[in-house]
Amino acid sequence: MSRQRPRFVSRYFIKMLLSYGLVIVIALGLVFAFTTSRVVRTLTEKESRVDREIVQQVRAYSDGTYKTVQGIFSRLYMPLSYYDNYSIVDYLNPRKLETLDRKAKRGVISSYLQDICTANAFISDIFIVDYGDRDVFFFSSVSGRDTSLNYDFYDQNLLGGSVDNKIRSIPNHIPEYINASSVNDYAVISYCIYLFDENAVRFNRPLGYIVVNVWADHFKDAYQNADSLNGTLFVVDESGMTLFDSSGEGAGKPFDGSRFGIADLDAAESNRAWVVNTQRSERTGYRFLNIVSREVIRREADAIRRSLYGVLVVCIALAMVISMVSAQLFSRRIELLVRKMRKLERGEFSEYPDVPVNDEIGYLEQSFNNMITSLDKHIQTAYVYQLKSKTAELKALQAQINPHFLFNTLESIRVNALINKDAETAKMIHILGNLFRWNIKTRGMFVELHEEIEYASAFVELEKIRYADAFDVVMDVPQRLMTLGVPRFILQPLVENAIKHGQMGVQEGGVITIGAEEIDDGTLVIAVADNGRGMDAETVRRIETGLDQPEAEPGDEASIGLSNVHQRLRILFGEPYGLKIESEPGVRTVIRIAMPARRKEELEHYVQSDHRG
């Protein structure tokens, strides 16, 4: 399917770019030059003017409501003709009206609160707490809303801060003192003040206090409807708490100006992304901000610009006629090429016929067809061959350990039989028979860790008879790791090495430790340590170098068993898994196995996947 490099008879992309660019770029460039900057500037100025007016309206409305609340608090001390020229505070003062009936007192104060709440639509609730008679007078514009009997209204720290005659406010909150069975699903802003004897000089013994709850969203009454407001309107108190957010998202939370590029409310100003209008009330200390995204203004400018594009209709129509023909051909051919690529992603190596068109896309399609054919041949000849070679190598390495172990075991039995000629020989033969039976019944490439430990323990029992209990074996393997999978015959060669080389010449007191742990990166580490004669650094280096050799050299201290285990781990799991040796002359030797920490079934799937390096 090889082809010569085609002569490009059609410069497809060059023709398309020239035809589109000549008609569209010149026309659009002229229109944008005359309209864009002017339209955006005009709309920005208009938006800023409208927003300033809305912010001013909301500020004036807020000042008015706050002034009304101040008036409510002040009138509590004013004598009322229809209440026998007594003020509401007089009714709370036991020195003024000592003989007043509590029922009559409740009627007067409740009626007064009802009048206030009815006359001011922005007030949702109002109540007065009387410390003297320990009574609460409550009225709400919401039907069925009442105070809780279990709430302690008489704690003088209830309003927070020191006791004084100053108005304090509580930002957006759901009152805790409302009865659970009442309506209590809307936030309010509370204005509170302690009430004192009108002749008081020191403000430390209040008669009670009054709380006026206003609707948290009453600020929206300052502008007629939401359609007149672009962007988002915020009302922020002096502590930085958001009292009102026209979007309904940030009310009752600290104001986050960072998303609008505002680091300091006192220095808030417009920036490249946002148009900001702000005012501050001297009466309340509240900050009023209207923030509009310039993207909104840009969209309005785009709408105006679209009305001017009539002069471009002829040019666009001409470009569309040209593009309809060329783009249809282009899209079909590109779509075909994409479908071929998706099939290749799924592993489908189909052969495709030669492409007869001699242009850029045709050459790309033909090159792709040739690549598919070459890639398919390469996989068949290289990858499959390598996979089979690895499988054969793995099976050969697994088979090496059985004759080697059989030879050593039979030699141990023969020497022991010649020396002892007693029941120990029978015991050794019994253990060896168990090992053979375990070997025969075990199937598959992997076993669970507890099975491998059982096999190694049987081998240790055999060797302890041979060496007359010159050493002990300590197991330090957590129970939770016992069900993890490991390749067969990886532990016994390490134990054999520790006995043969580590305990050589040791008559008693030898200790071989078998331990395992799972480290954080999902690696299982199995360690076999002995307190034998150890090795110097040069010997350790030479042994580790020999582990990667196909066969252990005669006389090499790194036995064929260690090399077999290391090579099998590398073939199964790749680097960095395998054996690692640490040793101190005359102190100890530790050989560690590193492999993935997975169960037996997962390991079988793992070695067939592409996880290996």
Cα torsion 32, 34, 38, 39: sign? negative
Helix (H) or strand (E) holding 449: helix 449-466
Pairing verdict, β 588-596 and 523-530: antiparallel
Give the model's confidence band at 397: pLDDT under 50 very low, under 70 low, under 90 confident, else very high: low
Mean pLDDT in residue range 176-200: 88
Token pair of 462, please? 């055999």
The rounded mean pLDDT for the chain is: 78
Cα–Cα nearest to 587, from 529, 534, 511: 534
In angstroms, the first-to-last Cα distance of the chain is 35
With H, G, I as helix, E, B as strand and everything else as coil, classify residue 532. coil
| Cα 89 versus chain centre, distance | 57
Q: DSSP states of 214-278 as a string?
A: EETTGGGGGSS-GGG--SEEEEE-TTSBEEEETTSSSTTSB---GGGT-S-GGG----SSEEEEE
Contact 170, 155 (CB under 8 A): no
Residue found by looking up tokens 């190598």 in the block? 393
CA distance 235 to 560: 81
CA dihedral 484, 490, 496, 497 (to 10 degrees): -110
Q: 293 versus 226: which is more confidently predicted? A: 293
Structure letter (DSSP) for residue 202? S
Instruction: Flag whether pLDDT at 301 surpasses 60.
Output: yes
Residue 9: per-residue pLDDT? 40
Token pair of 76, please? 């509590």
- Non-local (6+) Cβ contacts of 163 within 8 A are 156, 194, 203, 204, 206
Q: DSSP states of 410-422 as a string?
A: HHHHHHHHHHH-S
**Single-letter amino acid, residue 416:** N
Q: How far is CA 420 from CA 130, 425, 459, 461, 503, in A?
A: 106, 8, 20, 17, 21
What percent helix, strand, coil does the chain show, rounded to 5?
Answer: 50, 20, 35
Phi, psi (rounded to 5 degrees) for 44: -65, -45
Give the model's confidence band at 138: pLDDT under 50 very low, under 70 low, under 90 confident, else very high: very high
CA distance 547 to 567: 7
CATH number corresponding to 76-219: 3.30.450.20
- Side by side, which strands form the sheet with 287-293? 242-245, 232-236, 287-293, 274-280
Contact 210, 193 (CB under 8 A): yes
Residue 7: per-residue pLDDT? 44
Cα–Cα nearest to 451, from 443, 69, 203, 127: 443
| Cα 96 versus chain centre, distance | 66
CA distance 376 to 369: 11
Q: DSSP states of 147-188 as a string?
A: B-TTS-TT-TTTT-S---S--EEEEEE--TTB-TTS---S-E
Contact 533, 505 (CB under 8 A): yes
Least confident of 231-240, 444-453, 457-466: 457-466
Q: What is the pLDDT of residues 534-562, one digit of tens each?
A: 889 898 888 888 887 755 554 454 456 78
- Non-local (6+) Cβ contacts of 287 within 8 A are 234, 235, 236, 237, 265, 278, 279, 280, 281
Cα–Cα nearest to 186, from 151, 142, 147: 142
Q: 308 versus 78: which is more confidently predicted? A: 78
Partnered with residue 473 across adjacent β-strands are 512
pTM across the whole model: 0.47
| Highest-confidence segment of 99-103, 276-280, 385-389, 606-610 | 276-280
Q: What is the pLDDT of residues 2-47, one digit of tens each?
A: 444 444 444 545 555 566 566 666 766 666 566 666 666 666 777 7
CA distance 13 to 428: 84
Q: How far is CA 561 from CA 361, 451, 476, 566, in A?
A: 59, 19, 23, 9
CA distance 596 to 604: 12
CATH number corresponding to 385-606: 3.30.565.10
Instruction: Flag whether pLDDT at 137 surpasses 90.
Output: yes
Partnered with residue 191 across adjacent β-strands are 169, 212
What is the domain partition of the chain in residue ranges?
76-219, 385-606
Residue 543: per-residue pLDDT? 87
Cβ count within 10 A of residue 119:
10
Instruction: Flag whether pLDDT at 421 surpasses 90.
Output: no
Token pair of 581, please? 């040796």
Mean pLDDT in residue range 585-590: 88
Contact 501, 557 (CB under 8 A): yes
Q: 204 versus 75: which is more confidently predicted? A: 75
CA distance 46 to 300: 12
Residue 554: per-residue pLDDT? 47
Angle, alpha carbons 438-443-448 (nearest 5°): 75
CA distance 275 to 332: 47
Give the model's confidence band at 372: pLDDT under 50 very low, under 70 low, under 90 confident, else very high: confident
Residue found by looking up tokens 């078998």 in the block? 514
CA distance 19 to 17: 6
Q: Is 237 left (phi over 0), alpha (psi -120 to 50) or beta?
A: beta
| Cα 307 versus chain centre, distance | 46
Give the model's confidence band at 392: pLDDT under 50 very low, under 70 low, under 90 confident, else very high: very low
Q: 64 versus 498: which is more confidently predicted? A: 64
Mean pLDDT in residue range 167-178: 89
Token pair of 354, please? 């030669």
